Amino acid sequence: MAVENEILSYFEMCQREGTSLQRGMNFRLHGAYSVILMSVRPNAPYKDELHEEGAVLIYEGHDHPRTQDTPNPKVLKQPEYLPSGGFTENGKFHNAAQQFKAGEKAPDLVRVYEKLRKGIWSYNGYFHLVDSWQKSDGTRNVFQFRLEAIEEILDATTAVDTSFHKKKHRRIIPTYVKLAVWKRDRGKCTICGATNELHFDHILPYSKGGTSLKVENVQLLCARHNLQKSARIE
Ligand SMILES: [Zn+2]
Which CATH number belongs to the domain containing residue 211 in this structure?
1.10.30.50
Please tell me the distance between residue 188's alpha carbon and the centre of ligand 1 in angstroms: 8
Please tell me the distance between residue 142's alpha carbon and the centre of ligand 1 in angstroms: 43
Please tell me the distance between residue 8's alpha carbon and the centre of ligand 1 in angstroms: 16
Please tell me the distance between residue 52's alpha carbon and the centre of ligand 1 in angstroms: 32
Please tell me the distance between residue 227's alpha carbon and the centre of ligand 1 in angstroms: 10
**Residue 159 pLDDT:** 46
pLDDT digits (tens, 9 = 90+) for 22-67: 899 999 998 889 999 999 998 999 999 999 988 999 999 999 999 9
**Residue 162 pLDDT:** 45
The reply to whether 2 falls in a domain is no
Mean pLDDT for the stretch of residues 177-185: 97
Please tell me the distance between residue 231's alpha carbon and the centre of ligand 1 in angstroms: 15
Please tell me the distance between residue 37's alpha carbon and the centre of ligand 1 in angstroms: 27
Share of the chain above pLDDT 90, in %: 77
Are 19 and 109 within one domain? yes
**Residue 167 pLDDT:** 55
Are 60 and 153 within one domain? yes
3-state secondary structure the chain: CCCCCEEECHHHHHHHHCCCCCCCEECCCCCCCEEEEECCCCCCCCCCEEEHHHCEEEEECCCCCCCCCCCCHHHCCCCCECCCCCECHHHHHHHHHHHHHCCCCCCEEEEEEEEEECCEEEEEEEEEEEEEEEEECCCCEEEEEEEEEECCCCCHHHHHHHCCCCCCECCCCCHHHHHHHHHHCCCCCCCCCCCCCEEEEECCCHHHCCCCCCHHHEEEEEHHHHHHHHHHHC
pLDDT digits (tens, 9 = 90+) for 71-109: 999 999 999 999 999 999 999 999 999 999 999 999 999
Angle at 31 between CA 25 and CA 33, to 5 degrees: 55
User: Minimal CA–CA distance to 7: which of 221, 198, 192?
Assistant: 198
Are 180 and 164 within one domain? no
Please tell me the distance between residue 223's alpha carbon and the centre of ligand 1 in angstroms: 7
Average pLDDT, the chain: 90
pLDDT digits (tens, 9 = 90+) for 131-153: 999 999 999 999 999 999 998 66
Please tell me the distance between residue 201's alpha carbon and the centre of ligand 1 in angstroms: 11
The reported pTM is 0.91
Distance between CA 27 and CA 56 in Å, rounded? 19
**Residue 87 pLDDT:** 98
**Residue 168 pLDDT:** 62
User: How many separate domains does the chain show?
Assistant: 2
Are 214 and 232 within one domain? yes
Are 49 and 87 within one domain? yes
Please tell me the distance between residue 175's alpha carbon and the centre of ligand 1 in angstroms: 22
Please tell me the distance between residue 17's alpha carbon and the centre of ligand 1 in angstroms: 25
**Residue 230 pLDDT:** 79
Please tell me the distance between residue 40's alpha carbon and the centre of ligand 1 in angstroms: 28
The whole domain housing 27 covers: 7-172
